[in-house]
Structure 1
Amino acid sequence: MNLISPTIQSLEQALSTSALKQQTHTANIANVDTPGYKSKQVNFETALKNAAGKQAMASYKTDSKHISFSNESSQFDPRVTVNENSEYKINGNNVDMDVEMSELAKNQLLYNAVTDRISGKFRSLSSVISGGR
């Protein structure tokens, strides 16, 4: 029996990917003046499409006695890629602050939308559990 719907699992993975994207862009911003630093990015859309194509994604268990919420063999794995193809500054750094700030803003909007959607799913579950009261 699957206790958690694939939709909630997909939303959980979307939140994880969004958090990874946030970390990646903030690292880029922190290294804007570091000589030779190459910007990194997470392709959120590709990772999400790959996850949506799978029936179930892996859950994280802290104890072997915990119930499995999904098929443990499938894996959602967003990748951080390095942009080696461009050189924005003379010192070899290719971080563009305007691009990074715009990506952070887009990621924040996406994160807010996903958290709103997952909150709605949990409110629905709570309503069902409480008998609609």
Structure 2
Amino acid sequence: MKLFSGSFNLLEQSLNYSSLKQKVISDNISNADTPNYKAKGVNFNSVLDDAIKASMQAYKTDTRHFSFKQSLGTPGVFTKNGQYNHNGNSVDVDKEMSDLASNQIYYNALVDRISGKFQTLQNVVKGGR
């Protein structure tokens, strides 16, 4: 029996994505003056595919069947192309700060949504009181 609906799992995966994006953006900002540093980004589709593969289990009826493999490294993180500074650095601080703000808004919306879900569950447990 599942205690929580699938929406909790989806919200958890979304929070993981937002957390990874926050880490990548903060790494980019902290390395804005590092020569030859290449900015990184997060690909949502890749993160989603890895989350789906992690939740899928292969039913193997024969030892020769392949099993699902986890990707090496951090899933969904890629190196952005381009050069913005004369020292080979590709970090655009203004864009990174904009991405940071939008990611923070997204994260706060997810936290509010999951908090509402838990509040609803708490009301059910208390019997509506």
Superposition map of 1:1-133 within 5 A = 1-44=1-44, 46=45, 50=49, 73=57, 78-83=75-80, 85-133=81-129
Amino acid at match of 1:81: F
User: What fraction of aligned residue pairs are identical, expressed as a percent?
Assistant: 50
Is contact 2:50-2:75 (8 Å) kept?
no
TM-score normalised over the length of structure 2: 0.78
- The structure in which a higher percent of residues are helix is 2
What is the total number of aligned residue pairs between the two structures? 115
Which structure would you say has the larger Rg? 2
Structure 1 position 4, deviation (Å) = 2.1
Q: Given the superposition, is the C-alpha separation of residues 2 and 51 from structure 1 closer, same or farther in structure 2, using an over 3 Å criterion?
A: farther
CA RMSD of aligned residues (A): 2.5
Amino acid at match of 1:2: K
Q: Given the superposition, is the C-alpha separation of residues 131 and 48 from structure 1 closer, same or farther in structure 2, using an over 3 Å criterion?
A: farther
TM-score normalised over the length of structure 1: 0.76
Q: Given the superposition, is the C-alpha separation of residues 127 and 48 from structure 1 closer, same or farther in structure 2, using an over 3 Å criterion?
A: farther
Is contact 1:14-1:48 (8 Å) kept?
no
